[in-house]
Structure 1
Amino acid sequence: MPMQVPDEVFTRRPWHELPPALAVVLRPRMDAIATHMVDVIRDEVPAYRRPLGSAFGRDLAGSVRRAIGQFVELTEEPHSRQEHHVRHFRTLGRLEFLNGRTTDALQAAFRVGARVGARLYAETVRSASLPLEVVMPLHEAVLTHINVLSNESVKGYAAAQALAEGGLQRSRRTLAACLLDQQRAARPDMVESLARQAQWPLPDAVACLLVRQGAGGGRPAGLGQERGADVLALTHGADLVLIVPDPESDGTVQRLRTAVRGRTAALGPTVPPRDAWVSLHCARLMLAGHTVTAAADGTAGGAFVRAGDGLAEAHLRHGIHIGRLLGDRTLGVLRDLPPGRAARLAETLDALLMSWSRTAPEVARALDIHPQTARKRLRRLEELFGDRLSDPAFRFEVLLALRTRALTVPRA
């Protein structure tokens, strides 16, 4: 793609009002003007106080000479092509970014150069006995010239910054994909290498936030969108996954809750980075059981659940089909009963297994029923299950089956 050159700026009125004779008297003085300009820039701009013999010093001197040379070219021929000069000053801006500097020092150097150039060019006009009317358009030409060069340098800086940030975001997406892959996450050498490329210091702990994509998609506002932010983001299937470092730090969970307000999201348990995929797995399992449209905290249009508060439920959901088979085997005797009676007995069996003393009064309190009613139900359970109620292994399997059954019953 050809470079866009601001010819309409370089060929505007200031240079048409300058006599070509000015270029003739400026050419032999270019080196002296450049030397003085470099000295003043180095004196007034601390970031540019580098030895002239260094690569930086040579680049500074070369850029100053090029700027003066271009000004003389435009004075001599306002319509001359400028692509090569524009390319140089965009490269100058790119080098400023690559060397870790901001545009502040560069802009300051341009301002100093304009001031020194305007003064020395005016002195040349007077010493060459050129008409003094030249001084006004000369000053305008200097300001126009330095403004264009400054703008082109900023464009080069911005282009380099965008390219670097694009590469950084790609590296972070690659790192996120690695952490969410069980096999690759188990290779510390790979994870550490990708983390260095992504400029993402590996934290002691992370948690995955799984966000159901809204109509507009994209990342929730306020979650790591700035350069250097600590949250990794990756689109995973139809969902957005955010890997959040140190999720237990003060205010982090509330910040996440606020950022996803109005969406359905699940925060996985806190784990070491190598187990980020486990955190995501738990969050996904928890969301599978939450089809509500309003959270208990009043979040309109969404829900925020914490998988870390329901690991047992997440574990059961992982093997929910096995849990159903277990229920068929252990609770099969309830199938021949009327649905209402079967449900009441299952409820009583659950209360019995969760009680400490396994007595009728304790079960009655748990179910908020009369003790005599509890005794009748317990006797019926003994008739149905017999000695198996005293077998710890059977009681464990029944409890798993009851918990799985509770997960599969439609929510009221």
Structure 2
Amino acid sequence: MQMPDEVFTRRPWHDLPPALAGVLRPRTDSIAAEMIDVIRDEVPDYRRPLDSAFGRDLAASVRRAIGQFVELTAEPHSRQEHHVRHFRTLGRLEFRNGRTTDALQAAFRVGARVGARLYAETARSASLPLEVVMPLHEAVLTHIDVLSNESVKGYAAARAMAEGGLQRSRRTLAACLLDQQRAAHRDLVRGLAEQARWPLPDTVACLLVRQGAGGGRPTGLGQERGADILTVTHGADLVLIVPDPERDGTVERLRTAVRGRTAALGPSVPPGDAWVSLHCARLMLTGRTGTPHQEGTAGGAFVRAGDGLAEAHLRHGIHIGRLLGDRVLGVLRELPPGRAARLAETLDALLMSWSRTAPEVARALDIHPQTARKRLRRLEELFGDRLSDPAFRFEALLALRTRALTTRAPQA
């Protein structure tokens, strides 16, 4: 890549007579004034008062560009770093003022056209040879191309710095939302959201992605929503905080984005409860090998924790659930494993039934009514009057659900 000095010192600068610099220098102010007028007339974004900060910057940049052109004409090998810094700063100012490079590029093009005409007129009025005109036009085009490129570099550098700061702000916001204590401070959350330029949505949901061999951020979120999603790593996991997840097919896009990986989408919650959504998602993936709420994603699994909050709640207290099972269902441990499993299955069906009759239990278990009656009599022998106690029924159902979870997906 050529440096600006290398571009400036190549031809056509050597083809221009040094006398041209002496001719142009006294006309610098008049050339600058006409160039500024035409730029302001043809570039709408530059129609600002000349006594404003913007107008003064425009005038200073035009005069500097003309002055540099004269310097290069007099001495093609002169150092140009100070001019390069100025035009990179000009690009940074365009970004910081919320403008694009379109108007700046247009101003450079207009300036080149006006400059080429006025420089040529000045050369002819000084009776310089006609052979000067061609290298003069080439020099103007070379000069303006370099200045334009340097301004674009400054603009790009300012944008990259701003985007880096924005991403840091968004990571800070995400970390705050996932911290129970910090997320409770609404003023703190609002302040961080403003810094991150992230409008607080009505609801969010956390998508927890188990990192595969490929790592990195899931793709396919869609350009229109991807920028709104906060991303942060938690250990080896990737966490995405998704605003308004139930809107506009967002869940389908998320499922596609994590295809081939194991992921859990937490329930929709207010932003201050994002940590709760992540907690539910993490519980749903703990020790998981299969689930009714799991949807295949070509080698991975996509779990919606909102469809299994009761299960997530049980997983949160799974060790307490085991202790509860030992106390409430302890009598089943004295039976052979197969018989204990059948009676536990029957007890679950009884507790979930409306009429508590043998035919209803038989239909639930797809067994013969007579078999159901035998099992129910055995349960009465084991548990007696407790089968009619609401407290026992509640605890037994919790214990049975915990037992089903640990049987289906053993804990490490």
TM-score (norm 1): 0.97
Distance 1:363 1:340, change over 3 A: same
Cα distance in 1 for partners of 2:244, 2:223 equals 18
Give 1:390 shift.
Answer: 1.0
Match of 1:80 in 2: 78
Pick one of 23, 30, 33 that aligns with 1:32: 30
1:234 aligns with 2:232: yes
Q: Show the 5 A alignment for 1:14-29.
A: 14-29=12-27
Match of 2:369 in 1: 371
TM-superposition CA deviations, 1:190-231 (whole Å, max 9, x none): 000000000001011111011111212111113377898211
Distance 1:37 1:58, change over 3 A: same
The answer (yes or no) to whether the contact 1:224–1:230 under 8 Å persists in 2 is no
Match of 2:315 in 1: 317
Q: How many pairs were matched up?
A: 409
**SS of residue paired to 1:328:** helix
**What is the one-letter code of the residue matched to 1:404?**
T
Cα distance in 2 for partners of 1:226, 1:129 equals 61
The answer (yes or no) to whether the contact 1:209–1:265 under 8 Å persists in 2 is yes
TM-superposition CA deviations, 1:236-283 (whole Å, max 9, x none): 111111111111112111111111111111000000011000000000
The answer (yes or no) to whether the contact 2:43–2:107 under 8 Å persists in 1 is yes
1:116 aligns with 2:131: no
Cα distance in 2 for partners of 1:227, 1:267 equals 16
Match of 1:191 in 2: 189
Match of 1:353 in 2: 351
**SS of residue paired to 1:409:** helix
| Structure 2 unmatched runs, 5+ | none
Give 1:291 shift.
Answer: 3.0
**What is the one-letter code of the residue matched to 2:385?**
D
Cα distance in 1 for partners of 2:313, 2:319 equals 12
Pick one of 165, 176, 181 that aligns with 1:178: 176
**SS of residue paired to 2:334:** coil
**SS of residue paired to 2:12:** helix
**SS of residue paired to 1:305:** strand
TM-superposition CA deviations, 1:99-129 (whole Å, max 9, x none): 0000000000000000000000000110000
**What is the one-letter code of the residue matched to 2:40?**
R
Cα distance in 1 for partners of 2:386, 2:373 equals 18
TM-superposition CA deviations, 1:294-349 (whole Å, max 9, x none): 99654211000100000000000000000000000011101111110000000000
Cα distance in 2 for partners of 1:87, 1:161 equals 17
Match of 1:383 in 2: 381
| Structure 1 unmatched runs, 5+ | none
Cα distance in 1 for partners of 2:293, 2:274 equals 25
Q: Among the aligned pairs, what percent are the same residue?
A: 89
Match of 2:396 in 1: 398
Match of 2:217 in 1: 219
Match of 1:280 in 2: 278
CA RMSD of aligned residues (A): 1.7
TM-score (norm 2): 0.97
**SS of residue paired to 2:240:** strand
**What is the one-letter code of the residue matched to 2:49?**
P
**SS of residue paired to 1:401:** helix
Cα distance in 2 for partners of 1:293, 1:226 equals 32
**What is the one-letter code of the residue matched to 1:264?**
T
Cα distance in 1 for partners of 2:290, 2:122 equals 80
